[in-house]
Amino acid sequence: MTHETLPHGLRPATSGDLGEMTRILTAAFLDDPVWGPSFPDVETRPQVAGAYWRFMVGQALRFSESRVLEGGSDGEGESQGASTRGALRAVSVWYPPGEDEISVEAHAAYEALVSELLDPEAAAALEQAGARFADARPSDPHAYLTLLGVAPEARGGGHGMALLRAALAHYDEVGIATYLESSNPANDARYERLGYRSRAVVELVGGVRVQTYWRDPQGSRPTR
């Protein structure tokens, strides 16, 4: 992907995007096969999930890896009424090689938040899921895509995959492998078309199985 073909409105995420990124990710994962049941009370799920994703996005914004797609100011690339200048169409949350999702300093705050948001059973299931994902994450250096979501009003326009392709063009250029977990099997074929190859399967409470994917930078030798 050349500079000329980068999607319109692509830019790095900033702290000012925290609220909009939280909105998009909360909606995107509300009924996700993995993340929906992590917040089991359907009535309070939007609020509970929103508080959780706000914390997680805030942690990711410690780094400059995450990317967003702004809505076009002239209607370019917009769909289903997404016409507000500066609104985001899609967001991707990345971590650079060697970095954890939650900083050492923030672990206590994370545990307090989960305890406040969830009952003990749901909190334990979420903790176990996090541990299993962490155990499955490869030790080889890689950039880690933790979340990819499209605004409800912009779905169907290919914005999520466009945002992912732009990130992969960057990581190909600098020679960095990438890794992700596909929480929804409906997305697996999309990742595979971009060069991702299955790595391992993570089994969660209740028998939910999550496929993980690895992608070597284009033109490089495999590091697996």
Instruction: Specify the amino acid at residue 182.
Output: S
Instruction: Give the separation between CA 210 and CA 190, rounded to whole angstroms.
Output: 15
Give the count of beta carbons closer than 10 Å to the beta carbon of residue 221. Answer: 7
Q: Please tell me the predicted confidence (pLDDT) of residue 80.
A: 38
What is the pLDDT of the chain when averaged over all its residues?
A: 90
Q: Please tell me the predicted confidence (pLDDT) of residue 160.
A: 95
Asked whether the beta carbons of 162 and 176 are under 8 A apart, the reply is no
Instruction: Give the separation between CA 59 and CA 95, rounded to whole angstroms.
Output: 10
Q: Which residues of the chain have pLDDT under 50?
A: 1-4, 73-85, 221-224
Q: Please tell me the predicted confidence (pLDDT) of residue 81.
A: 38
Instruction: Give the separation between CA 50 and CA 56, rounded to whole angstroms.
Output: 10
